[in-house]
Chains A and B, each alone.
Chain A
């Protein structure tokens, strides 16, 4: 489905990523070809089997890694070799800076960009308050829980006011209840900032709960084999998981993904036959 130019925020055309051969290791075709249009202000998630290239897809879209072939554009401009202005990235691992306080962590990017002190103060105070971290401004990351540290990483990205927010399994290390609550916070951020969100996750329920659309990826080399529209209202939260439609969406995702997950297991030599044989 083609989009009007004003609704198109980012796109990928024929994108592939091949990791070149290194010494004894042969080249690995990790991704693609992938075609994808991200709509302005939508919440798009990607699910797929382990090792299918989800994170590679995010890296290429962000400009953190180059595409081996194909083109990536963000707001009409080509993405090549550098993360474009207006794009924010949050990773799965704890990327908070342990040597800085919560406040200084959040202010880091703005200070590096030589933004005026008053603007830094206003944006950081506002964002920390928005993320529920205002009371911990002078604490160090080591004094925070895993969930709070991840909120801090999101806050550090949000202060730069990204128009496209890319999240690579940001809640992967959190327990289920915290994930649901963080999901609510993410939806709140999404509504209030109006940013386009691109989320990589391995949790089908998380993708189904949060997203307007969910892209399902094949086993490696990862390709988008289906895009599922959830049709949720914009003003939603984690209570949506109790609705019958939620089960339908999750079931549809799993039906599409199950075969690919089995293929991925076979690729890694862990399919059932071998497990039993061993």
Chain B
């Protein structure tokens, strides 16, 4: 482990320890925050009991679908904008101000369109994430060195072969960044949607536990969620590091 990584770990461990001490000593009210050890115990009990397995699977399924749709849709949109500069110029102001729009206001519209099921939540996750992927795809395509496009022509590659064989691998760092953002935004969109707009899923169960002062379950679910997202991020980070090292970018 690097020195920076060790210090980071030490800071996190110290913060958890301080919180544990503060909660146990009564400095922090148990109704506000429970000790981290109790959170961990709550999370473990939730996993073992299988009580929320259905909600966890529902949430992960919705996030997964939103991620796949946003990556495919965002890539397609980014490619179209790259190939049609006039359309890109026309849409530039909308893209720039996209994240100023509170996407959740479209929830009623999504219910009208998709019905009272999980699809409106998937739609919120998708809408929240798709533009991040599109912008990163567009940036990636624009940053492909011109000499690689000339090389593709010199090798007599067709347009699809150039896209798959040269353009996409060349802009892979940007596509990877886009995919990472899509995962984060999809989680935020779906969980936040479940919080206020759904009758099932991890977000709903956290809100339900909160409303009933059920702190062990609330913090247990939160810890599980944070643990899952952090593990996913660590896997992506490790893959990204290997990827960048291979290209001599680190």
Contacts and interface: CB of A to CB of B under 8 A. Distances in A.
Given A64-B153, A82-B156, A109-B155, A97 B248 contact: no
A85 B151 contact: no
Interface in B199-250: 246-249
Contact of B165 (A87, A93, A112, A142): A112
B161 interface: yes
Nearest to A142: B248
Chain B: number of interface residues, binned into ranges: 20 to 34
A237 interface: no
Contacts of A83: 153-156
Contacts of B86: none
Interface residues of A, number: 25
B169 interface: yes
Nearest to A63: B153
Nearest to B247: A98
A89 B154 contact: yes
A82 B159 CA distance: 13
Question: Mostly helix, strand, loop or mixed at chain B's interface?
Answer: helix
Contact of A91 (B150, B165, B170, B247): B150
B147 interface: yes
A98 B145 contact: no
Given A95-B148, A140-B246, A141-B248, A108 B165 contact: yes
Nearest to B164: A112
A91 B169 contact: no
Interface string A155-179: 0010010000000000000000000
B100 to A, nearest CB: 31
A160 B151 CA distance: 13
Interface of B: 145, 147-148, 150-151, 153-157, 161, 165-166, 169-170, 172, 246-249
Given A99-B172, A112-B165, 5 more contacts: A64-B154, A91-B151, A94-B147, A95-B147, A140-B246
